[in-house]
Amino acid sequence: MPITPPTCADKNNAMRLRIPYNELSALLPKDPGLAAHCRRVAGLATEIASALPLPGRAMPVLEQAALLHHNPSLLFGDAAMERILHDLLPQGGWKEPSRATHSPRALPEDLIALLTAFQAFPRPCADRNTRAASEILAVANFLDEHIEFSAWDCNTLANLSDVIDDLSGLIQPAIREALRKAFRSSRFTLDTGRLPVQIGVIKELLGILAQSASMEVQALAAVASRDPVISARLVHAANSGLYGGRSTIRSVRQAVAHLGIDASRRLLLALAVHPIFASANLRSIWQHSVWMAEFLESFARRQNLLDPEEALFLGLVHDIGRLATQAVPQSVGALFARLTTSNCPVTYVEQLVLGSDHAELGAAILSLFHVPEHIVEAVRFHHRPAASDSLLASALYLGEFASECEEDLPSTPHLRAALANTQCSFESLSELCRKRATSFAAILNVA
């Protein structure tokens, strides 16, 4: 359906700044990937415009232009052609068409002007504010396409400054500065003192569990008893109906004997890692990590590629780098929230704002725990398996994909590489997701 610019007679439409929500959603691209791109571009453009700042009246126009910048009617429809003819033909050579030939829907004039200037970019537009808004829209579009492309090759968004420099000469210096100011305001350096947990006890427990694969009941009970909270939760889990308990177990030693060595080790691993994600705003990450732990353990048994206990641990800690977002200043946290609302996946926001993502930061944190290097590497590449030889990174990527948590932009090359590395077919992956039980999550909830 073609979209028309407002005529002089259509004063109500010409005066309005916003398209009503129901009309706007009907104009969004039907392709989900393209619609997601438009939402992200709107989010980026709003941040850049706020850093300029653009006059408040221009903000809703910019946001809506970003959402509609792939609308084919605007690009190739009658309205666009009329606008071009109006601009190109000598004065008086363009006759306004009769309203009968058009749809009743008319876009606000400012919006049409901005989209026209965006299509003409980098040719500058005469109106100062429209020119600034069209450059912001072009930059936001370029930035999102650049990050999308990086998801398809093996790179992260390494250096935003290089991207900004590439735009020199095409945009005004003020827009370039606004772009710098809007993002990368907080290049992240890991400060272990600001992590929301004391890592000493956890490090010790994990170290002991990692060193001795075979342990007697007595030795394992001694490990569990090092932390009173972990001891209590282990006894509580042993008494739960899930392990056939009858509320008669009163000591860690009895709990380990009742649960068995393997189940006790699994539970101890999870209980050792849980305090890292104990705060209320990390609860959803913990639930996802438990899901991943179960998935990876099943995957390990099925594909016979990795040790199930190692897989379990890897699942529990794979997103430990997301602790970093707990340590950023409040203003950066608010920026994270706004971009996430605009459909930007978490790795996208982290790269843009922190210059690193939770995979890199997680590898740095795990190095502090002195976990084996292959685990650190798996976490480092768990969103870019095609860039690594790590089988564990590929297994983690498949888990992230299967969990549908959408922590990164979709990438066929990475998915193909992960499936090939782990010798897993897409059908096997789907079947594994269907069969997996959730007993571990249930046990942890009662522990």
Identify whether the C-beta of residue 114 lies closer than 8 Å to the C-beta of residue 137.
Answer: yes
357 part of the interface to Fe ion, by CB under 5 A: no
Nearest approach in angstroms of CB 190 to Fe ion is 17
Q: In terms of CB distance, is 82 or 319 closer to Fe ion?
A: 319
Nearest approach in angstroms of CB 288 to Fe ion is 6
Which stretch, 47-55, 93-101, 264-272, 396-404, contacts Fe ion (CB under 5 A)? 396-404
76, amino acid identity: F
Which stretch, 10-18, 293-301, 318-326, 436-444, contacts Fe ion (CB under 5 A)? 318-326
Q: How far is CA 209 from the centre of its chain?
A: 32
Question: How many alpha carbons lie under 13 Å from residue 417 in its C-beta half-sphere?
Answer: 23
Q: In terms of CB distance, is 110 or 319 closer to Fe ion?
A: 319
Q: In terms of CB distance, is 212 or 281 closer to Fe ion?
A: 281
Helix-strand-coil percent breakdown of the chain, rounded to 5? 70, 0, 30
* Residues of this chain, 12-31, that bind Fe ion according to CB under 5 A: none
Nearest approach in angstroms of CB 261 to Fe ion is 29
Evaluated on CA atoms 200, 205, 206, 211, the torsion sign reads: positive
319 part of the interface to Fe ion, by CB under 5 A: yes
Q: In terms of CB distance, is 294 or 400 closer to Fe ion?
A: 400
Q: In terms of CB distance, is 29 or 333 closer to Fe ion?
A: 29
Give the closest residue to 266 by CA, choosing from 299, 229, 303, 315.
Answer: 315
C-alpha–C-alpha distance, residues 132 and 176, integer Å:
11
Residues with Cβ within 8 Å of residue 372, at least 6 apart in sequence:
210
* Residues of this chain, 231-270, that bind Fe ion according to CB under 5 A: none
Q: In terms of CB distance, is 47 or 400 closer to Fe ion?
A: 400
Nearest approach in angstroms of CB 416 to Fe ion is 19
C-alpha–C-alpha distance, residues 150 and 148, integer Å:
5
Q: In terms of CB distance, is 63 or 407 closer to Fe ion?
A: 407
* Cα–Cα distances in angstroms (integers) from residue 332 to residues 131, 189, 278, 401, in the given order: 28, 14, 22, 27
Nearest approach in angstroms of CB 42 to Fe ion is 11
45: phi then psi, degrees, rounded to nearest 5: -60, -40
Give the closest residue to 344 by CA, choosing from 410, 408, 285.
Answer: 408
Identify whether the C-beta of residue 381 lies closer than 8 Å to the C-beta of residue 390.
Answer: yes
Q: In terms of CB distance, is 230 or 323 closer to Fe ion?
A: 323
Nearest approach in angstroms of CB 108 to Fe ion is 21
CA torsion, points 220, 224, 225, 230, in degrees to nearest 10?
A: -160
Identify whether the C-beta of residue 366 lies closer than 8 Å to the C-beta of residue 375.
Answer: yes
C-alpha–C-alpha distance, residues 379 and 55, integer Å:
44
Give the closest residue to 156 by CA, choosing from 311, 350, 307.
Answer: 350
Nearest approach in angstroms of CB 109 to Fe ion is 22
Nearest approach in angstroms of CB 154 to Fe ion is 17
Nearest approach in angstroms of CB 118 to Fe ion is 10
110 part of the interface to Fe ion, by CB under 5 A: no
Which stretch, 15-23, 159-167, 244-252, 392-400, contacts Fe ion (CB under 5 A)? 392-400
Question: How many alpha carbons lie under 13 Å from residue 144 in its C-beta half-sphere?
Answer: 25
Number of residues that make up the chain: 447
Which stretch, 79-87, 233-241, 258-266, 312-320, contacts Fe ion (CB under 5 A)? 312-320
Q: In terms of CB distance, is 46 or 141 closer to Fe ion?
A: 141
Q: In terms of CB distance, is 279 or 287 closer to Fe ion?
A: 287
* Residues of this chain, 404-423, that bind Fe ion according to CB under 5 A: 407
Q: Is 241 exposed, middle or buried (0-12, 13-18, 19+ CB in 10 A)?
A: exposed
Nearest approach in angstroms of CB 102 to Fe ion is 26
> One symbol per residue from 130 to 149: x for binding Fe ion (CB under 5 A), - otherwise; what is it?
-----------x--------
Which stretch, 76-84, 171-179, 256-264, 401-409, contacts Fe ion (CB under 5 A)? 401-409
Q: In terms of CB distance, is 13 or 394 closer to Fe ion?
A: 394
Which stretch, 11-19, 104-112, 297-305, 319-327, contacts Fe ion (CB under 5 A)? 319-327
Nearest approach in angstroms of CB 23 to Fe ion is 21
Is the bond preceding 122 in cis, omega lying within 30 degrees of 0? yes
Q: Which stretches of the chain bind Fe ion, using CB under 5 A?
A: 141, 319, 400, 407
